[in-house]
Structure 1
Amino acid sequence: MEHPSDRPAGSHEARDLTRTLMRTEFRERRSVTTELAATTVRRPPRSTREIENSLRRRLGLGRLGERLDPTPWLWGWLGPLVVTALAAVMRLVDLNHPTRLIFDETYYVKQAFSLLTLGYEGDWPAEDDDENDAINSRFADGDYSDLVSEADYVVHPQVGKWMIAVGLRLFGADNGAGWRFSAAIVGALSVLLLARTARRLFGSAALGTVAGLLLAIDGVHLTESRTSLLDVFLMFWVLVGFWCVLRDRDASRARLAHRTAPIRAAEESRAFHAAADAAARPAEPDRPAEPDRPAEPERRGRGVGVRWWLVGAGVALGLACGVKWSGIYAVAVFGVLAFAWDLSARRAIGERRWFTTSVVRGGIPAFVALVPTAALTYVASWASWFAHPGAYRRQWAADLRAAGEPVPRPWLPDWLNSWWDYHLAMWDFHNGLRSEHSYEAHPITWILQLRPTSFYWPENEPPPEACGAARCAEAITNLGNPVIWWLAVPALGVLLHTAIKGRDWRAWAILAGYAAMYLPWFAYAHRTVFSFYSVAFVPYVVLCLTFVVGWATGLLRPPPHTDGWLAAGPAASSRRGGWRTDEPTRLARFLTDDGSVRPTPTAWAILLAVVALAVVAAAFWWPLWSAQPVSYDFWRAHMWLPSWI
């Protein structure tokens, strides 16, 4: 049939008929739209609690009031405590051996004793190495007469030495247990802290326990927990800061959801009533009504209040800087990480100007909570130096002023000017240290442990009866567990792929540890550096390997999906494990918090092989980590690479 609109354009009848048809069609569409609107109106707006739970899901959090099941909670403490007890035994047993100061203990132990005695680092004057050895021998015998009141020029702040001083106060300064007690306790506590961190990151008591065990049996961590150096204290405080930043991520996201939910509830309520009013209004018969424009949804970012976990991180990282200056890199990297997570959270919940809001309401408050706190903590750690006029350079500015000589930066108070000039002198030392050393190692070799540092090798070999062989050896070699370190190298590649391709926030968190405590050393590769500095990032080496083992076995569940940026996990992370549909057993609750994974035989083989090989390697190298008398051939059999000798 011919449509009226196909008739000649000049036909008035055709034009009238066309208008009538178009008007009828429009009324039909409007009636359908009104009916749909009425249907939508019948759905009531969500409550504030419902909206908050929805936001929490988008932010990767559990529902309000949701608590971890008692079984995985118990496993999450029991497993880490067991491996911590093992770590404590390995670090405290026969701690007095060797009975003399070894390696750089000659500096830090005597400086710690000076702090207890004088309140600042006094000098132990020695003309050469032989005289220094004699002073060390008298020190070990309880003769401290070589200490003089003249201040010594030291190039590291005081926090680590004050921590060593705790052991000296408790057990005396004339025995190795007193010298090394604090390092051993801090080493054991760091095992517990890492195990709990891994359990929180991966949602698995099993993976948390594995991470704690791997750290407990690593040679770099073990030898420095049994030697009174500063780096183990640096590692500990940075790890505490890392834990606090992780806790801040959850706490700030929970508060963001809580403060945003009432606003979204009010928006939904207004939209609901507006739609109801529009549906109830009668439409004019001959022309369409102008559609009501809903009010622009309020998407202004909400603040999250004082971020106390970041304040705690600032205190911990300020103490880390008070041990060694390299802690400042952790302040910078972890601060950027906290900002990136805030940015991701605001984007996930649909804030309209999420970047700007994150800078103003997330980044600036995070900076205030973290950086000034770390700076103030660092300055406060110099309290003893400020309080004692005899400390090194304490009176530098005042002495210049009294002598009538020009004082650099005269606008500063004398005490602050002296402190600042001391820091400039320390900076010149650290940046200009280029003396050759037989154990120096480029940072690129650290992750492969190609050039370990020898902490102890006595000049006089132990007698034959000490080991039952014609020639004996006794050594402390700061060599990482080869199974852990060598497997962690390819695991680092998998971690990078997962972070970039899979956008897993946990992978980014671990990489932040590498970025803070490892990468900066490449900027100082021109100076003399040693592989024992790697203890500062060994927790993240362990987390990296544990992450990949969990990924390969299916124990690592994908993180809850949020906005897909620094949040979503690999969809195939359970490829080697099956999902449970029956009631989870206690073992299943140990493997994952929800007990939903049933590992395949292949997955069990991977997990047990990594753990077993690492344990066997630790037993194999234990004598060389703890200065046990062994035959020279036994020692030589452990030197797999020429660079290890």
Structure 2
Amino acid sequence: MNRILQFIKRTASHLNTDSDAKLLSQKDFLCMFLFIYLFTLLAFYRLGNNYAPSTSYSTDTDNRDIVLDFGDYLDIGSISIFLGNLNTRHFSISAFNEVTGAWEICNGDTIAESVFAWNKIDVNYRLRYLGIVSTDDTAILNEMVVQSTDGSILTPINAEEYSALFDEQYMFPDDKTYLDSTMFDEVYHGRTAYEFIHGITAYETTHPHLGKILIALGILVFGMNPFGWRFMSVAFGIFIVPLMYLFAKRLFKSSFIATATTCLLVFDCMHYTLSRIATIDIFAAFFILLMYYYMYQYFTKDALYRSQQASRTDLFPPKNVALPLALSGISMALGIATKWTGVYAGFGLAVLFIWYTITHFPKKQVLRLFGFCCAFFVLVPLLVYVLCFIPVVGYEQYDNLIDKALQGTISMFDYHSNLEAEHYYSSPFYEWPFIWMPLLDANDTVNASKVSSVSCMGNPAIWWIGILCELYVFFRWIFKKDKKAGFLCIAYLAQYVPWMPISRITFIYHYFPAILFVILMMGYTMLHIKEHFSWGKRAITAYLLVAVLCFFLFYPVVSGFPVDKEYGLRLRWLKEWILVL
């Protein structure tokens, strides 16, 4: 444990640029360690299989047909195909009639849709020879499992002719769930990460690419399997935990409130879910929180610098002021290179920086600071953004990397501005704080009574109470002119307001970067309760217990843990909630 605590101390010291290193006590390090350890256990438990079919069989216009011989007439119930990286493949399934000498269609136009997932195709036919014809120009099949009508696995006698299709039969799961397959947008981001690694034409080009590059790192280490493509999401979900603690401790100067605030993050259902799915949102959220953490450091460092007049030098900005400002810009660069929501965060940073700098520095120093920021908030983000296009294959002809990035950016803008799509689980911005429409990422039947469900939603005990805390913090900013409250409000609004005019479909997870600042607002509110009421600490502790219990109440339907369907139905607190099917 001592080694782990030392590692956390070193990591925290890199985030903390205090020269006196007095921000955190031994107690703080211990609290951070416990939260990291707890969330790590929660996030990695049943994350996904560390194996998946990897050898592949390809079809094309000259090799469309797969003919399987079972040696005798058998009742074939279904075929399950684990697709490679090409989605929505079409097949025609037929049986050979030895009497007539003709092929009889069993299922003439069937589709396997999901990449890196098991796709079941019903056959329900008695036959010896099974014909599977790919009607697309090309298809990539990683494995095929044939089952009888009673569910037993059948191996054709000519399996060696299609060895890549029948060499990993042991990987076929008894019940198809998120543990062995992609879910929701993993079919875009996880797939594209795989394509980056193999130099294949990228499928998902509607977002900047740093997040998919990060997902690819997990795949390189652990393989193209559920554990591999989700690993980096878990890592960044864990990274947010100590970052939230550091931010809360810096804001509120209280270990108790920093602990309470971090507890809310650890037991928020959406933080948990987004940390366990191979999408880019958890990366973007981490970088957004990080850029605001360093911007707030810039304010506090400058205040300390001003209080030590004797230590002033001709060098401006001084190192201890310039460093957090530079790190904020670098964090913003990483955020924008992950998702354009980083640009929204950048607007908030600009408001905060200009507001503080103009009111605290003479004109000459303001100009120097603005010049300094041009490098770290303009040039560095542009450089990182362009570099993240290096692994992308598939754009039209381009002259150089800058032209490639420009074409990609125009393509992204056209996609998002012209997107006309509908989705049952979509929801407008004004519904997000109330958790009006959770998003069902995965739902699979385990048996007659149990389901495995992964719902993306907030913890009601946190999100609903958070609305009241938001109102209190806004009140403190507007009517009490509290600058700390103003900082939190501006950061929150920067993540929320830009979504209001968006006409394309949106989902509740788009609210997650904003909820990070709601949790900090809750910390602000808890601090005031603690300071103004003798019963404050007891009330806060009791509330935290309720929030933790609420998390575990919803745990089965946000984690994919098999649960009675009836249990999931009883959690339908609002009429729009569909947490299990």
TM-score (norm 1): 0.63
Alpha-carbon displacement from aligned partner over 1:137-196 (angstroms, at most 9, x marks no partner): 35697999998944536211221111111211221113x211211111110110111011
RMSD of equivalent CA atoms: 3.1
CA-CA distance at 1:492 after TM superposition: 0.5
Q: Do residues 541 (structure 1) and 484 (structure 2) align?
A: no
CA-CA distance at 1:338 after TM superposition: 2.2
Q: Do residues 490 (structure 1) and 423 (structure 2) align?
A: no
Alignment of 1:56-455 (within 5 A): 68=22, 73-96=25-48, 124=86, 126-127=88-89, 130-133=111-114, 136-137=117-118, 149-152=200-203, 154-174=205-225, 176-258=226-308, 303-305=316-318, 307-346=322-361, 354=362, 356-357=363-364, 359-385=366-392, 391-393=393-395, 395-397=396-398, 415-455=401-441
CA-CA distance at 1:475 after TM superposition: 0.8
Alpha-carbon displacement from aligned partner over 1:432-463 (angstroms, at most 9, x marks no partner): 222111011001111111111001112xx222
Kindly provide the amino acid, as one letter, of the partner of residue 373 in structure 2.
Answer: A
CA-CA distance at 1:261 after TM superposition: 6.7
- The number of aligned residues is 440
Structure 2 residue aligned with 1:520: 498
CA contact (8 A) 1:211 1:542 kept: yes
CA-CA distance at 1:304 after TM superposition: 2.0
CA contact (8 A) 1:160 1:323 kept: yes
Change (3 A) 1:258 1:371: farther
Change (3 A) 1:96 1:366: same
CA-CA distance at 1:245 after TM superposition: 1.2
Alignment identity in percent?
A: 21
CA-CA distance at 1:218 after TM superposition: 0.4
Structure 2 residue aligned with 1:635: 568
Q: Secondary structure at the match of 2:471?
A: helix
CA-CA distance at 1:236 after TM superposition: 0.8
Q: Secondary structure at the match of 2:480?
A: coil
Change (3 A) 1:384 1:512: same
Structure 1: gaps of 5 or more residues: 1-63, 102-121, 264-300, 347-353, 386-390, 398-412, 465-470, 555-574, 577-599
Change (3 A) 1:260 1:154: same
Aligned residue among 556, 559, 577 for 1:623: 556
Q: Matched residues in 2 for 1:305 and 1:200: separation? A: 21
Q: Matched residues in 2 for 1:607 and 1:125: separation? A: 49
Alpha-carbon displacement from aligned partner over 1:210-263 (angstroms, at most 9, x marks no partner): 111110110111011111111011001111212221222223333445567769
Change (3 A) 1:150 1:379: closer
CA contact (8 A) 2:330 2:376 kept: no
CA contact (8 A) 1:311 1:373 kept: no
Structure 2 residue aligned with 1:505: 483
Alpha-carbon displacement from aligned partner over 1:69-117 (angstroms, at most 9, x marks no partner): 9xx611222212211211111111111169989xxxxxxxxxxxxxxxx
Kindly provide the amino acid, as one letter, of the partner of residue 111 in structure 2.
Answer: D
CA contact (8 A) 1:184 1:225 kept: yes
Alpha-carbon displacement from aligned partner over 1:269-294 (angstroms, at most 9, x marks no partner): xxxxxxxxxxxxxxxxxxxxxxxxxx
CA contact (8 A) 1:482 1:617 kept: yes
Q: Matched residues in 1 for 2:331 and 2:307: separation? A: 27
CA-CA distance at 1:414 after TM superposition: 5.1
Q: Matched residues in 2 for 1:431 and 1:608: separation? A: 46
Q: Secondary structure at the match of 1:396?
A: coil
TM-score (norm 2): 0.70
CA contact (8 A) 2:87 2:115 kept: no
Structure 2 residue aligned with 1:28: none
Structure 2: gaps of 5 or more residues: 1-17, 54-83, 91-109, 119-140, 144-167, 173-190
Structure 2 residue aligned with 1:481: 459
Q: Matched residues in 1 for 2:526 and 2:342: separation? A: 29
Kindly provide the amino acid, as one letter, of the partner of residue 76 in structure 1.
Answer: D
Higher relative contact order (Cα pairs below 8 Å, separated by 6+ residues)? 1
Q: Matched residues in 2 for 1:644 and 1:97: separation? A: 29
Alpha-carbon displacement from aligned partner over 1:348-406 (angstroms, at most 9, x marks no partner): xxxxxx4x356424444334432322222222222334xxxxx222x524xxxxxxxxx
Q: Matched residues in 2 for 1:334 and 1:367: separation? A: 13
Alpha-carbon displacement from aligned partner over 1:472-528 (angstroms, at most 9, x marks no partner): 22211111100100001011010001112222222122223212222211121x111
Kindly provide the amino acid, as one letter, of the partner of residue 383 in structure 1.
Answer: I
Kindly provide the amino acid, as one letter, of the partner of residue 325 in structure 1.
Answer: W
Kindly provide the amino acid, as one letter, of the partner of residue 378 in structure 2.
Answer: V
Q: Do residues 611 (structure 1) and 563 (structure 2) align?
A: no
Kindly provide the amino acid, as one letter, of the partner of residue 130 in structure 1.
Answer: I
Q: Matched residues in 2 for 1:90 and 1:414: separation? A: 45
Q: Secondary structure at the match of 1:436?
A: coil
Change (3 A) 1:543 1:100: farther
Q: Matched residues in 1 for 2:409 and 2:22: separation? A: 48
Structure 2 residue aligned with 1:114: none
Q: Matched residues in 1 for 2:310 and 2:414: separation? A: 50
Q: Secondary structure at the match of 2:114?
A: helix
Q: Which moved more, 1:87-96 or 1:375-384?
A: 375-384
Q: Matched residues in 2 for 1:612 and 1:632: separation? A: 26
Q: Matched residues in 1 for 2:405 and 2:530: separation? A: 53
Q: Secondary structure at the match of 1:383?
A: coil
Q: Matched residues in 1 for 2:525 and 2:573: separation? A: 26
Structure 1 residue aligned with 2:76: none
Q: Matched residues in 2 for 1:484 and 1:456: separation? A: 23
Change (3 A) 1:135 1:365: closer
CA contact (8 A) 1:155 1:429 kept: yes
CA contact (8 A) 2:269 2:456 kept: yes
Greater fraction of residues in strand = 2
Change (3 A) 1:262 1:124: closer
Q: Matched residues in 2 for 1:194 and 1:495: separation? A: 18
Structure 2 residue aligned with 1:403: none
CA-CA distance at 1:630 after TM superposition: 1.4
CA contact (8 A) 1:339 1:358 kept: no
Aligned residue among 418, 422, 447 for 1:463: 447
CA contact (8 A) 1:335 1:370 kept: no
Structure 1 residue aligned with 2:66: none
